[in-house]
Amino acid sequence: MTVGRLLRGSWLELGHLAAPVRRRVFIEEQGIPVELEWDALDDASRHLVIVTASDDPVGTVRLTPNAHIGRMAVLPAWRRRGIGTRLLHTALEEAAAAGMNTVALAAQLPVIAFYEKLHFEPYGGIFQDVGLPHRMMRRALGEGSL
């Protein structure tokens, strides 16, 4: 099966596609409690979802109005195929188009190197979020940065 399209939209438009990916990755795989996965930011955020040629969702990410990238998830069978990179690049394009100068994210420790390859810089110390160690990262946007 091959990757088909990247969809952009609101939670109302794409939540039915993003939610199963997030449930599989965050709740089932990582053991994050259901009540911590869903929040009010979903309704206010811009969502991206990558689907297969048969419209099955395989990856998702959201961009909040305050320039925070989060809820990045790719199904296990689809990892290491460039889906996360494509999602992140598109989220950065969306942020720049919205006039954001810098974006931030809370990276789980095992994926910090992934974000560093895409020019995110860690700052601050390690902290616990939903029971997992994270570190804040940021990236400036603007002329030539994408």
Position 5 scores a pLDDT of 94
Section 116-124 average pLDDT: 96
Position 143 scores a pLDDT of 60
> What does the pLDDT look like over 12-65, one tens digit per residue?
999 999 999 999 999 999 999 998 899 999 999 999 999 999 999 999 999 999
Beta carbons of 82 and 59 less than 8 angstroms apart: no
2: confidence class by pLDDT, cuts 50, 70, 90: low
> Which parts of the chain are beta strand (E)?
3-9, 46-52, 57-63, 68-74, 102-108, 121-129, 132-140
Position 53 scores a pLDDT of 92
Coil vs helix vs strand at 132 = strand
Q: Can you give the residue ranges of every domain in the chain?
A: 3-100
Pick the CATH number of 3-100 from 2.40.160.40, 3.40.50.880, 1.10.3720.10, 3.40.630.30: 3.40.630.30
Residue 144: pLDDT over 70: no
Residue 100: pLDDT over 80: yes
The structure tokens listed for 89 are 């690049």
State percent of the chain over pLDDT 70.
96
pTM of the model: 0.92
